[in-house]
Amino acid sequence: MQSLKHRRKRGASSTIQMEERSLIDEGDTILNKKAVYEPSGSQRCRQLVCSRSWAVTILIVMGLFLILIAIIASFARPQTLPCTPLNTVTEAATTPAPKVQTYIATNGKDFPWKDIRLPKNLIPESYDILIHPNISQSYFKGRVIMKVRVISQTDFVVFHIKNLNVTHFDVKSLKDGEPIHTTEYLEYKEGQQFYIKLGRSLEVDEQVEVTVKFEALLVNKLVGFYKSSYKLSTGEERHIATTHFEPTDARGAFPCFDEPQLKANFTLNIVRDKQHISLFNMPLKKTEVYDNTGLLLDNYDTSVKMSTYLVAFVVCDFANISKTTSDGVKVSVYAPSELISQADFALDGAVSVLEYYNSFFGVKYPLPKQDLIAIPDFAAGAMENWGLITYRMTAILYDPKVSSLGNKQWVATVVAHELAHQWFGNLVTMEWWDDLWLNEGFASYVEYIGADQINPDFHMHDQFVTEDFLTSMYLDSMSNSHPVHVPVDNPDEINEIFDKISYSKGGSVLRMLRSILGQSKFKAGLTHYLTIHKYSNARTDDLWMALQDANPKLHVNIKAVMDTWTKQMGYPVVTVKQTGTLLSLTQDRFLLNAAHTNDVVPSSPFKYKWYIPLTLLTSADNETHQLTWMNMTSAETTVPPNIKWIKANSGMNGFYRVNYDTANWKHLIRQLMDNHKVFSAADRAGLIDDAFNLARAGLVSQKIALDLTLYLVKEVEYVPWKAALDNLAYIESRIIYKEVYTNFKAYMLKLIMNRLTALQWTDSGSHLEMFLRGHILMWAVKLGNQPSIEKGKQLFQQWVHDHASIDPNLKTVIYMTGVKYGTEEDWRECLKVYEETHVPSEKQKMLMSMSYSRDTRLLNQYLGFSLNTSKVRSQDTETVINSIAANPSGQLLAWRFVQQNWDTFSERYKGGSFGMSRLIKGVASHFSTQFDYDEVKAFFAKRDAGSGTRAVKQSLEKIQMNIDWLERNEAEVTDWLNKHSS
């Protein structure tokens, strides 16, 4: 091997100094910021003499400068200047210049490879990784041997690194075993790439080994290879080292070809202390003594062929519990020893789901083991690393004595989601991140199937409508949405699309396709897709082809239909007009705020038209689902004579909204009042959500939407109530400071009173009944229902004195009531429990509860805690801030806090993070005035939001929609509430 120090003597690398600097010295420089230079006595004297002489000189210069100003002023004439209001920033001043891509290496030289994507001249075949983490000293070092095959003749190598200090590298041909002379190496930090110039060309099909030694800091940064910690009940702090690589952070742990289509086999060798264990994607092969210091080296089996972002390794001191599936796969859950008793539910669920998916997908799980591990600091909910899934603690640990049914369902859903990825994402991986939805859309749909397998009482298929379907429709009705399949290049752009469109809309269009094909044909197509692309990569077209090929007699062109749903943003609203027995159906793109859509609308290859599988119910036969295809056009169909009403999109399977003429809306409202059970719970939720969103878009009156809610006094099911309350919450947030809010509260209390009386403060009933109880009680307290407030305060005070006395499924509303209507001492009691509890779900509830305070002093203090990692984990920072922003008392405080600490957030989320988008949307999208719009726009116009760039555009669009809603609808809503509040 050639040392970088030796090669510098030969002139090959004299311009790069960072590689040969000691990591420990660099770490000391970073960590010891208080160490400052103290001059000696003689040096201080010389500085003093210099200071006196310079002072005289400066005084003379300043005097001459003042005389010059006076002369200029005496000759200057008055000028008429354009009047610019104070605090108004012009567009030229607030719009940053377009960022010009430059390719400059760390030594100032031109970087030869000018593409964010790696060249296709080399393909990695295997990685042999040695990692030596020093957890106590917060650094790690390692060595990777990358075996690559030459695809096209080349005389250079380019691979990824991020924040790694390269200390050695060499390149060797496997044809003759001889080293290949290298003439230059360069690092391009912005592109996270490392370039090696070779002394000769590599031939096609030649195999070479690229060996790189490296070192880096091991800190709590939530991406790459990082440090995490937890505390024992004794207060002792323990540390672990763990990874999170998706989408582009494997390069932060070891040099690699970090793109999903560049799959390879991975072998890991990892150094650890005796008190620790290590984990990897594959089973442990052997452990041996590493050196004379007592360290151990764990050697692991070589992995199956997989993408870099799925590699994972952990060094920890956790305990575990295990079971074996009927197919012989060992399933284990790892957690701190004091928390492992909370892992039983996740373990049982994982075994059940893994066995079920083997049958459902028709392809066996290919690895010999499946580990699930709880990570104390974790940015996402979980990560599907093949054979070693990492979880946020609240997503895997469940204590039936303390945790609620909501916590239980969350664990089941996340476990089912990540196990679905073992097939969709791991076995078959998207070729590039523009097809991220192939991973996340599938897992978002299949998780409902898997969670129902864990516990059928969850009724997950009913919940899909409100949790994924309607929420993604809201985001996709904005002009700043994006297609399901969207071009992305750099890490910031990639991180932007980990959103409701890729996940929930992706899952929704698959659910729609399943309803078109039928369950058996859909499953046959999935099995075919997984079989022909296993251990490889695929694009969206490959899925459509597999589904088509598996169903040769199908009379639907799947690609033609589904391209209209995945390659253009948005979705249609179908307008249904009846003339006798003839129905005319027209389609248009649905936008919540078409009047303020950008002048330059992104072009669509389909001109914003869709293939729509329109289904119909009528009052003549409300069980018949009539199907009419709208092939990117209008259409006509017939219905029986003398029908009273039409309900389109039966079952809410189609990803579109439906509008009707006023007469049909009135008939639907009357039917709901007479007998709402004629419609399914999903259809009732769909009618409510369509009406309110159509009203927001100005396509129907607010009266129609509000009239639809009148029947809710008889509604007992969770899904329609959830849709209604979500939409009514939007109106509440617009009028909360208006005089009419008093009447809004009176109407809402009248609406929920039957459910409030029936459900009471008990912890009984079905799964969805208990969910509904929580929502109804929260609204009762929020609306000022005095008996509910007093009951909540009473239960809170009982809990303060005896924490075991509170029902798990009532905790959220009781904590909220106690904090909102309580004292500072009550708030601090929640803080104390947050700091002391060892139940992750309870810690999360405390985190949220403290944000409900009406004391702005406490909220400001809590905002300060959010950036103090000794108080609030970095994974929870945006949760705290966004929760305070959702509180009317804290909305402005949270926005100001983000403004004041922008540099801190920008640094924390630099290089790509889901947190930046969540933070921006959470604090900036609640406002409803032009003043706030202008302030948000001016603030972000001067700053690079990185992975939150799209979130800024969406937040500004939401504020504009809020402003417009008030201008268009306040009078009508006020009039309606005045008539219906008593």
Q: How many CB atoms lie within 10 A of CB 77?
A: 4
Is 380 part of a structural domain of the chain?
Answer: yes
pLDDT at site 94: 36
pLDDT at site 598: 57
Question: Splitting the chain (982 residues) into consecutive groups of 10 residues, what average pLDDT does each group show?
Answer: 34 30 29 29 33 40 42 33 28 43 92 96 98 97 98 98 97 94 96 97 97 96 95 95 97 98 98 98 97 94 98 98 97 98 98 97 97 95 97 97 96 98 98 97 97 96 96 95 93 91 97 96 97 98 97 94 97 96 97 73 91 95 84 95 94 97 97 97 98 97 98 98 98 96 98 97 94 98 97 95 84 97 97 94 96 97 94 93 96 97 89 79 94 96 90 95 95 97 89
Same domain for 160 and 31?
yes
Is 410 part of a structural domain of the chain?
Answer: no
Last residue of a domain, which of 555, 570, 585?
570
Same domain for 192 and 309?
yes
Give the ranges where 518-631 is alpha helix by DSSP (H): 519-533, 540-549, 558-566
pLDDT at site 626: 86
pLDDT at site 99: 58
Same domain for 390 and 462?
no
Same domain for 116 and 201?
yes
And the tokens for 356? Answer: 């079920």
Separation between Cα atoms, residue 196 and residue 188, nearest integer Å: 12
Count of structural domains, the chain: 5
pLDDT at site 599: 54
Same domain for 380 and 393?
yes
Same domain for 323 and 242?
no
Is 645 part of a structural domain of the chain?
Answer: yes
Separation between Cα atoms, residue 954 and residue 961, nearest integer Å: 10
Burial class (CB in 10 A: 0-12, 13-18, 19+), 134: middle
Same domain for 520 and 455?
yes
pLDDT at site 56: 38
Q: How do beta strands 382-383 and 646-648 pair?
A: unpaired
Is 669 part of a structural domain of the chain?
Answer: yes
Is 46 part of a structural domain of the chain?
Answer: no
Output the domain CATH number for residue 364. 3.30.2010.30
Is 871 part of a structural domain of the chain?
Answer: no
Please identify every residue annotated as catalytic. Answer: 418
Same domain for 590 and 653?
yes
What's the one-letter identity of residue 270? I
Domain containing residue 906: 901-982
Separation between Cα atoms, residue 818 and residue 797, nearest integer Å: 8
Q: Looking up tokens 């690609």, which residue turns up? A: 559
Last residue of a domain, which of 529, 545, 570?
570
Give the three-state DSSP class for 808. helix
Q: Are 720 and 685 in contact (CB under 8 A)?
A: yes
Output the domain CATH number for residue 251. 2.60.40.1730
Same domain for 294 and 232?
yes
C-alpha dist (Å) from residue 386 to 247, 419, 423, 534: 14, 9, 9, 14
Q: For residue 621, which phi and psi values (nearest 5 degrees)?
A: -155, 90
Q: Are 491 and 247 in contact (CB under 8 A)?
A: yes
Same domain for 593 and 533?
no
Last residue of a domain, which of 665, 687, 709?
687
Separation between Cα atoms, residue 193 and residue 186, nearest integer Å: 8
Is 860 part of a structural domain of the chain?
Answer: no
CA 910 distance to own-chain centroid: 16
**By C-alpha distance, which of 951, 962, 501, 922 is closest to 696?**
962
Half-sphere exposure at residue 572, Cβ-oriented, CA atoms within 13 angstroms: 25
Same domain for 280 and 137?
yes
pLDDT at site 293: 87
Output the domain CATH number for residue 604. 2.60.40.1910
Separation between Cα atoms, residue 632 and residue 648, nearest integer Å: 17
Output the domain CATH number for residue 523. 1.10.390.10
**By C-alpha distance, which of 632, 653, 625, 359 is closest to 510?**
653
Same domain for 148 and 235?
yes
pLDDT at site 97: 47
Is 395 part of a structural domain of the chain?
Answer: yes
Separation between Cα atoms, residue 774 and residue 557, nearest integer Å: 45
Separation between Cα atoms, residue 313 and residue 875, nearest integer Å: 20
Q: What angle do CA 63, 66, 70 make, to 5 degrees?
A: 140
